[in-house]
Amino acid sequence: MNLTELDLCGLKEAIDAGRCSALEATTAYLERIEALNPAINAYHEVYAQRALDQARLADEGHRPGPLSGLPISIKDNLCTEYGRTTCSSRMLAEFEAPYTATVVKRLEAAGAVILGKTNMDEFAMGSSSEHCAWGPVRNPWDTERGPGGSAGGAAAAAAAWLCAGGLGSDTGGSIRQPAAYCGVVGLKPTYGRVSRYGLVAFASSLDQIGPVTRSVRDSALLMNVISGHDPLDSTSSSHPVDDFLAGLEEPPARLRIGLARQYLGEGNHAAVKAAVDQAVKILSGAGAQIIEVDLPHTEYGIPTYYIVATSEASSNLARYDGVHYGHRTRNAKDLVDLYAASRAEGFGDEVKRRIMLGTYALSSGYFDAYYVRALKVRRLIRRDFDQAFENCDVLLCPTTTDPAFVAGKNADDPLSMYLNDVYTVNANLAGIPGISIPGGLAEVDGVALPVGVQLLGPMFEEARLLRIARLLEREIGLGLCPPVVSRV
């Protein structure tokens, strides 16, 4: 039995039944990481000895819980007291966090084995995982292509069987977009559903942590562990947490599926359109009522997002000045030069671009024209979703307009790169949950590439989203396996 073939729930069943040990499973993943990570660059750090020690403890019964002995990856913007937390930036190249993120504590309290930290766009700012201080991440389906971003390492690791499951963060699609590009499942929970304590902030009103997995039931399992109120996070919600695995195999009794015309334009790749059409057919066959809805402010999502997100990034990243913490230049002439040189040396080009955009939007004379106006449009976008959900239970739409693009294609055109998030950013602006699942395959230049379909729901309706996603997953039945997987 190849243990890395099993998804998270499958491996849990195997360990619980005694068909394998946690140590055997962890060893299998570490061997696979050693063999494949040089080609994919999904991991920045691997905690091999620590993982083996934790697996042994799980086998000895010292680490019980719903994730006992299961090898998990975490994105490199989640703080841990062990290893480094770099956010794939030279600014934090040697940063050792003094505390551990709440979600990581909850994983380990449930018995999980942390394999390592996955690579990402620097400070989660990007849609391609090319803006990494430690080199770009490659897509397991075609290593000439990117995996999406910013959680490209998490998605690539899950797709290439370099972990049983993982955690990422989603500020404007950073979980769902790479999940679509890599043929895995990515869930962005409702804002406040999962604690952000210990997540290095990009845009504090948008960031949310969620699972990146090979199946819907795996996402449900991880959500059971990481969800819930955290007194250490003032934005954490006390809304009751469902058992996301309970009733997962039973579709909701009444299904009203909304289709927004703004998400179904002519710009979508033929395979993306086919995936949505297939999902509509499956849901209709299951008795769902298909309802056309209107989201009139959709077109303003990208400009609104890139004002709000960059403004918050400008504020959050002001603390990295070479004095408080972070990279410090060795050749400063005076204090002003220390600040400027430390930031110039520590931050990459994309981070600098977003800091400058945000600083401009927040500057005197432009604050009302840009940031305040963006907040007003954000409220309109939220209202669009609220009105749509009065008539439907969830929205069905593409995750991306196209399959994964060739690495470097948009390197000199940041606007094209930003438009990759056109179907994902509005969920973050509205604070609603969304899930991307594999929807089909596209043939591009002789290469098969996955495309995703996305479900969006009202706040705190992750259980409903997961049940509908599971229905689609069963019927689509892809079981996607990228070519790189067969090499080991």
Distances (CA, A) of 387 to 258, 288, 390: 11, 19, 5
342 catalytic, yes or no? no
Q: Which amino acid is at 208?
A: Q
Query: How many other C-beta atoms are found inside a 10 Å radius of the C-beta of residue 79?
Result: 20
What is the pTM for the complete model shown?
0.96
Residue 487 pLDDT exceeds 60: no
Average pLDDT over all residues of the chain: 94
In tens, the pLDDT along 216-271 reads 999 999 999 999 999 999 999 999 999 999 999 998 888 999 999 999 988 899 99
pLDDT at 419: 75
Active site residue: 12, 68, 73, 75, which one? 75
Residue 484 pLDDT exceeds 80: no
Query: In whole angstroms, what is the distance from residue 136 CA to residue 129 CA?
Result: 6
pLDDT at 253: 83
Tokens of 473: 């997953």
Q: Which CATH number fits domain 3-243+398-479: 3.30.200.20, 3.30.56.10, 3.90.1300.10, 3.30.70.270?
A: 3.90.1300.10
Q: Which helix (H) or strand (E) holds 75?
A: strand 71-75
In tens, the pLDDT along 89-120 reads 999 999 999 999 999 999 999 999 999 999 99
The torsion defined by the Cα of 363, 313, 433 and 99, in degrees rounded to 10, comes to -140
Residue 436 pLDDT exceeds 80: yes
Sorted by where each begins, the domain ranges of the chain are 3-243+398-479
486 catalytic, yes or no? no
The pLDDT-based confidence of 426 (bands split at 50, 70, 90) is: very high
* DSSP conformational letter for 43: E
In tens, the pLDDT along 364-376 reads 888 999 999 999 9
Percentage of the chain surpassing pLDDT 70?
97
Active site residue: 150, 219, 237, 436, which one? 150
* DSSP conformational letter for 370: I
The pLDDT-based confidence of 325 (bands split at 50, 70, 90) is: confident
Across 52-61, 299-308, 406-415, 471-480, least confident range = 406-415
Query: Is residue 63 within 8 Å of 54, Cβ to Cβ?
Result: yes
- Which of 258, 289, 252, 291 has its CA nearest to residue 471? 252
How far, rounded to the nearest angstrom, does the alpha carbon of residue 16 sit from its chain's CA centroid? Answer: 28
Q: Which helix (H) or strand (E) holds 454?
A: strand 447-456
In tens, the pLDDT along 335-372 reads 999 999 999 999 999 999 999 999 999 998 889 999 99
Active site residue: 73, 128, 129, 174, which one? 174
169 catalytic, yes or no? no
DSSP states along 83-138: S---TT-GGGTT---SS--HHHHHHHHTT-EEEEEE--SGGG--SSS---TT----
The pLDDT-based confidence of 415 (bands split at 50, 70, 90) is: low
